[in-house]
Amino acid sequence: MPLAGIGSRFLAIAIDTLIQGALYLITGLIFLLLLPEGFSMFTFLPKTLGPAMAIFIGFSIYWGYFAIFEILWKGQTPGKRIAGIRVIKESGRPINAYEAIGRNFMRAVDMQPGILYGFGLVCMMLNKQSRRLGDFVAGTVVVHEKPSEEVRPTWNTAADTASSSGGMGQVTAEELVLIETYLSRRFELDPDVRLRTAIQIAERIKAKTGLQPQSHQHVDDFLEDAARRVRDSGRFRS
């Protein structure tokens, strides 16, 4: 998935901040209009209970908004959903509750000196993945959502090199997406990471289908051949 830049992330935070402001406003109106009358019926309660509840709700909105949405929506808040971005682990897997909470508690540092995420902005500008401090702590990145049908591999080999598709029926749709996603992103990977990733995928396909590479065939060409065979089987045609 393509990494989300500073512009799309600030669009998301601007929308989320507006929603938080609306929640603060609604909470304030509720306390101003309803609680005085309500608390008059419970004179035995401490007078400080109302302000304490307001502080607790405000704290929950400030700290819980991002974490709760990112847990429930698997890395998205309303702002991120509108902007078409999502938080994921560096490995590409969805984040869990610990990572959602951890990265959002670091907002207190990223927001310093309190104006437009000053520290977070500098941090994002100093690394290629536009990660703020919270992302480094939680091991996350923010990416643009990209439907799998938009992923198209870059082919090295000619289309007629794939032979019969026999035995490729064991390959699942998820495994085909795995192969083609690698093929579409391989030139952006570090050479060592690229080779290790290709070998791992190839070993998985060989073990499942029995397909073996030709003599002196590069592992990338083998994966291209495998992907074409699966497509030629007619089960996953574009």
Per residue of the chain (238 residues), what is the pLDDT tens digit?
688 888 888 899 999 999 999 999 988 887 777 665 555 544 555 666 666 777 888 888 888 899 999 999 989 999 999 999 999 988 778 899 999 999 988 888 888 776 567 788 888 888 888 899 899 999 999 998 865 455 555 556 555 544 445 556 677 878 888 888 888 888 888 888 889 998 999 888 888 777 888 878 888 888 888 888 877 765 554 4
Last residue of a domain, one of 144, 170, 185: 144
Helices 191-209, 219-232: axis angle to 10 degrees equals 40
Cβ atoms of residues 1 and 144 within 8 Å: yes
My answer on whether 18 and 121 are in the same domain is yes
**What confidence score (pLDDT) does residue 181 get?**
85
In a domain, 1, yes or no: no
In a domain, 238, yes or no: no
In a domain, 133, yes or no: yes
14/7 Cα distance (integer angstroms)? 11
My answer on whether 18 and 106 are in the same domain is yes
In a domain, 172, yes or no: yes
Q: What is the dihedral of CA 9, 12, 17, 23, to 10 degrees?
A: -150
My answer on whether 59 and 135 are in the same domain is yes
- The total of structural domains in the chain comes to 2
Last residue of a domain, one of 104, 125, 144: 144
Q: What is this structure's pTM? A: 0.59
| Kind plus residue range of the DSSP H or E element containing 141 | strand 140-144
In a domain, 237, yes or no: no
Last residue of a domain, one of 121, 144, 167: 144
Cα–Cα nearest to 61, from 94, 82, 30: 30
Alpha carbon separation from 79 to 70, 71, 200 (Å, rounded): 11, 14, 36
Domain that holds residue 61: 6-144
My answer on whether 113 and 198 are in the same domain is no
**What confidence score (pLDDT) does residue 135 get?**
92
My answer on whether 169 and 219 are in the same domain is yes
116/235 Cα distance (integer angstroms)? 50
